[in-house]
Amino acid sequence: MMSVSWRTTASCLSRSSPKLRGSFPAGKTGGIATPAAQQASAKCSSAADTPAADVDPVKAKVMYAVQQPLATSAFGDVMGVPAWKTLPSWYLVAADDQAIPPDAERQFAARMGATTVEIPSSHVPMVSHPGDVTQLIKTAAEAVPATS
């Protein structure tokens, strides 16, 4: 088994997302808007400020339009024991992320002791750089012996 992470706060036992984020500034997405029903979504003023800034603008608008809000309770939830505490881990840092500061991503990866790959990607590398994401997963899979 292994742990492969990207766009994550590298959860840690007894810590909520805001505590993990620490003193890193908010990204250019304008932070989190909290509509009724206690859900959160990113506010974006232009295509360049979106979490999908390196995605075709038409596709990015569709992604933004169909994105489901995150329950704000997720920001206060304390996570259980993360897989990276006991499994070999790999982490993809999105160097051009406007939602999670890349320095925070680097810190998360270091805390995990993860093998780290950094690419010039927005917050959605699985859309803008699918080949790099696939390669990271393949590399991780090949590095870990198969178990039955």
Q: Note down the domain range covering 125.
A: 3-22+29-143
For residue 97, tell me if it sits in a domain: yes
For residue 148, tell me if it sits in a domain: no
Domain CATH code at residue 99:
3.40.50.1820
For residue 10, tell me if it sits in a domain: yes
Identify the three-state secondary structure at position 90: strand
Contact predicate 55/25, CB 8 Å:
no
Q: How far is CA 123 from CA 31, 76, 128, 143, in A?
A: 14, 22, 9, 26
Other CB atoms within 10 Å distance of the CB of residue 13? 10
What's the total number of domains in the chain? 1
Residues 6+ positions from 141 with CB-CB distance below 8 Å: 2
For residue 60, tell me if it sits in a domain: yes
Identify the three-state secondary structure at position 33: strand
For residue 43, tell me if it sits in a domain: yes
Strand partners, 93: 118
Residue 97 tokens read as: 């992320």
Quote the strand ranges of 2-146, DSSP E: 3-6, 32-33, 39-42, 70-71, 89-94, 115-119
For residue 126, tell me if it sits in a domain: yes
Q: For residue 24, which phi and psi values (nearest 5 degrees)?
A: -70, 140
| Per-residue tens of pLDDT for the chain, all 148 residues | 666 665 555 555 445 455 555 556 655 554 444 444 444 455 555 555 568 889 998 998 888 888 877 777 777 777 788 888 899 999 999 999 988 889 999 999 999 999 999 999 999 999 999 999 999 999 999 998 877 5
